[in-house]
Structure 1
């Protein structure tokens, strides 16, 4: 029979000595099914120099009975764009590819062994073209197999085509657990799970531990997952906490966390640290939250609040250390229960924000969504490149360890300090990808000797052949063309759903395209090229410098420039002409990205704030100056910027003075003064007792477990000695009168404001004085 299948994920197992790939799918009728590919075999390549058949025979002699070498086939391939002779070496058991890799590498005449480190089911996905969130049509035969929790099981007979079409409706489930951690950081061997909250499109569901024994609620949770049968399981930091905790907890109770679509399968940790649930996409949304740069502390409540899916004002907010106290109190217990439900719902709603974009990235890269969520940008780009390499008959280089090599970055034109009005930001669209295309840059086009027909990069002098087109250029051209087509389709789309989907697609293409330059300079890249990355920035510097000179010749004042944009002020009627001249000269797309009614710069690069003509305030660089500022200091800095842009410097000064006076009058909440700091090392590894280290040690002494990689929140209290000695975990300080107000004025509030105001000639003493004019008091009457 011939049927269509929508792909969710892949996995594989070895059955009766042969590998079987499981293609987890949904059919046209909405049934959850698995298609079994039994005929695909693992293989790798050996690049050779010498007599082909002699080397091939030597390779055949390495065959082992446990997984024999079944085929050694001579092939013509390209390696970094150059034609090479290679052997395609096939075996039976995927794990033996790595075993044979080492022995084949020692055969005389073998120059290099390649593609032995590609995961078996991903190898199949690349070769067949079958990938998640696409449909494939195939001739299949139904078989009976009771080890799968699906409606139908099929053997794949013949693949007919892979295509894109409307997706089926997927079942999505979000979950969150709470544990009773009376003695500090939870220990799964000791501390029970008290709540498991679940949220689906049908609403919330909770499993509540009423009698102290969590085995029942864990079993009820397992039963629910099997019955609801989600295609996608969402969590937030489930990789770091929920899954390892549940797995360790059931292990201690001799129970299996059997929730996969294959009988007896439990979540298991795999590539990029994510936990895989067989047949389901288990997605940790924290991986996507890392891209939300505006949120510094990536807690679930912070991210959900920032994105507007669950404002903090509309949910229960608890700290982890409060849970045992609230759980023991019959009146407060309901707050813990609601807190858990709010977390599960927040996770589900975040999925609605992140998943559409993640799905498009998966369609571009072929990397299953659960892995993609936790993979770095570099790995995402690499999977796209690997798929393209297969199409181009290019061999995939091995990943190797490299020593760090620095190189000069983009040009930054020093800002003209102060306030400027009517400023235009001229931005080169995708400058670095455009440079890579124009000058055919890549590791396969680099020429290290003499070259008669090459592009030569300025300053560094690296040479890249003009033809034929390189690996990077071909892929980037295709992506840019695809994005144009998607944007055109978006303009023509009639319904909002289609528009949103296309917008996510073009955004995913843009993100991937712009990541190519960074990938090329990433030390972990298979297609690494320091020369290429260095040449791109050199051409970029030349273009920005020349564009600035051209702007000045046309009568504009250049007040700032950074990597791929310049800020100019001058005659508005001449801006369009300037844009056309620059675009024509460099054959690159440039546009007026923003128009600022007012913008100000400090003397520091990459730090400015502007007010657009539609009333939006952009703040760049200031919020990232120091990670050890309390919320009040950050708020004051932001408000100072707003006052300068909307009113005047005098208004900004008054704002800071009022904040100083409020602190002196003890009119503050302790929460405003918490300083958050990461513990990047174990406490015994710190040579100096910094404030956050001292606070962490005090927290441990008070019975709270603090670990490497976590964050500690502390406040500075009054007393003698160094500041670090007076750092206290914030949850141990209840009385506001203990706070060292002078520390917060002198080391937090005033310095945060002075980062901006010193550019306007303001002195610290001005901010600390009350500014009270006795005559103005008498003149009020």
Structure 2
């Protein structure tokens, strides 16, 4: 295991004339003290979440032996879900007083829809939503009397099937917190029912024994779609190649009463889009990265590209027996011309992949260099400097 590196002033310790009262005064420097424990463990023991291992337990502890013959990803049970809620006119849904009308989810390709009859005008029968032949969605529908029964039905099904991966689209911000608040309103505790708990400070919903992979995080970092085009409808058209169903948010509550069949189709369309977006793009990408990056899939998805590059550098530094420097800490107070700055604005940089995918050194990659282009650039630069 890696440990913090520290240097002690031994001259002070051995001096007969001066004996320190606090050993912290003798520490010259600390290194790698801010590395998360699980990252340090994964680096030191060469363990990665996306790889296979033989696990054995003995009196000396737990032994992990990597299986180099197994390269195929594990068949983890995946549940992609989406909720539809009530709302007041011209207001965003508020879990304090709004309720869940429908919850639709796809579990390993099989669709399910739970209907809250307090909000929906009539019973809904089993339905199918298949926008393209390769994106098949057959849904079994359960009609329940109220929101309490809707939550109880979904919790019970999740406890029975035990998905290893929960998938949402912007679920960190909306779906999970809304479900958590409505469950608490009816006397449930979501962390007891499903193990998931929302962290308002980090803006994430996580569990210890299952992953929550929010496709919206992948879209923001890895989809290369322009800013302002990150909504599920636009992403569905751009990445999955079909026109999804759309309903004006101001009409949803009314349509649930007047056109319940249409609203049911709309609800399951979001679940289908989320599931196949994840299975087509997010799942292979994230779990391929998890075979080389010493972090959990949740973090591989949510961390910035710069942090992922930093993790890869830390792995190589450990192999080379190099201690990583500490992260730069900005000064708490900054001055400009002897005046204290109350605030400071700047344009920061970010790391961005040139191509999406995982690249390896043992796969040949060709680079073409054109000497004429360098000559032209050099001439143009010299010309500009001459006249400047």
TM exceeding 0.5: yes
Matching residue within 232, 250, 253 for 1:300: 232
Residue from 162, 165, 170 that aligns with 2:66: 162
Q: Distance in 1 between matches of 2:329 and 2:111?
A: 48
Once the 2 structures are TM-superposed, how far is the Cα of residue 363 of structure 1 from its aligned partner? 1.7
Alpha-carbon offset, residue 171 of structure 1: 1.1
The structure whose residues are more often strand, as a share, is: 1
Q: Distance in 2 between matches of 1:356 and 1:407?
A: 30
SS in 2 for 1:321: helix
C-alpha spacing 1:485/1:344, structure 2 compared with 1 (3 Å): same
1:338 shift after superposition: 1.0
Q: Is the CA contact (8 Å cut-off) linking 1:48 and 1:111 kept in structure 2?
A: yes
Structure 2 equivalent of residue 276 of structure 1: 206
Paired with 2:347 and 2:261, the residues of 1 have a C-alpha distance of 55
The aligned residue for residue 130 of structure 2 is none
The reply to whether residue 485 of structure 1 matches residue 362 of structure 2 is: yes
1:112 aligns with 2:35: no
Q: Deviations over 1:178-218 (max 9, x none)?
A: 11113421111101111111012342101111135312111
Q: Alignment partner for residue 178 of structure 1, among 76, 84, 98? A: 84
The 1:485–1:364 alpha-carbon spacing in structure 2 relative to 1, beyond 3 Å, is same
**Alpha-carbon distance in 1 for matches of 2:313, 2:255:** 52
Counterpart in the other structure of 1:47: 6
Structure 2 residues without counterparts, runs of 5 or longer: 15-19, 120-145, 332-344, 381-388
Q: How does 1:6-85 map to 2 (within 5 A)?
A: 44-48=3-7, 50-51=9-10, 54=13
> Against the structure 1 CA distance between its residues 205 and 550, is the aligned structure 2 distance closer, same or farther, given a 3 Å change threshold?
same
Q: Which residue of 1 aligns with 2:307?
A: 379
Distance change >3 Å, CA 52–CA 381, structure 1 → 2: farther
> Cα gap change, 1:487/1:232 in structure 2, threshold over 3 Å: closer, same or farther?
farther
More helix per residue:
1
Unmatched runs of 5 consecutive residues or more in structure 1: 1-39, 56-60, 63-102, 142-154, 409-429, 431-479, 489-542, 559-781
1:169 is displaced (CA, Å) by 1.5
**Residue 174 of structure 1: how far off its partner (Å):** 0.3
Corresponding residue SS for 1:116:
coil
Among 43, 49, 53, which residue is 1:126 paired with?
43
Partners of 1:259 and 1:202 in 2: CA distance: 27
1:424-451: CA deviations, max 9, x gaps? xxxxxx8xxxxxxxxxxxxxxxxxxxxx
> In structure 1, how many angstroms separate the alpha carbons of the residues matched to 2:60 and 2:114?
40
Query: Quick one: structure 1 residues 407 and 245, their matched pair in 2 at CA, closer, same or farther if it must change by over 3 Å?
Result: closer
Asked whether the equivalents of residues 83 and 267 of structure 2 are also in contact (C-alpha less than 8 Å), the reply is yes
- Partner of 1:359 in structure 2? 287
Q: Could you tell me how far 1:387 is from its partner in structure 2?
A: 2.4
| Aligned CA distance change for structure 1 residues 112 and 217 (closer, same or farther; 3 Å) | same
> In the alignment, which residue of structure 2 is the partner of 1:318?
247
Q: Does 1:327 align with 2:286?
A: no
Quick one: structure 1 residues 350 and 53, their matched pair in 2 at CA, closer, same or farther if it must change by over 3 Å?
Answer: farther
Mapped partners of 1:381, 1:112: distance in 2: 25
Residue pair 1:193, 1:214 contacting (<8 A) in 2 also: yes
1:552-591 aligned at under 5 Å gives the runs: none
SS at match of 1:196: strand
Q: Classify 1:158/1:186 alpha carbon distance in 2 versus 1 (closer, same or farther; 3 Å).
A: closer
Indicate how the Cα distance of structure 1 residues 200 and 362 shifts in structure 2: closer, same or farther if over 3 A, else same. same
Aligned to 1:708: none
Structure 1 residues 168, 548: closer, same or farther in 2, change over 3 A? closer
Residue deviations 1:306-329, cap 9 Å, x none? 1125x12xx421132221121231
Whole-angstrom distance in 1 between the partners of 2:284 and 2:10: 52
Q: 1:191 — aligned with what?
A: 98
Counterparts of 1:53 and 1:172 in 2: how far apart (Å)?
A: 60
Q: Pick one of 215, 225, 244 that aligns with 2:177.
A: 244
Paired position in structure 1 for 2:384 = none
Check the 8 A contact 1:222/1:259 in 2, yes or no.
no
Could you say which structure has the greater relative contact order, defined with CA pairs below 8 angstroms and 6 or more residues apart? 2
Q: Which residue of 2 aligns with 1:548?
A: 373
Equivalent-residue separation in structure 2 for 1:196 and 1:367 (angstroms): 31
Q: Return closer, same or farther for 1:487/1:274 CA change in 2, 3 Å cut-off.
A: farther
Secondary structure of 1:364's counterpart equals coil
TM-score, reference length from structure 2: 0.72
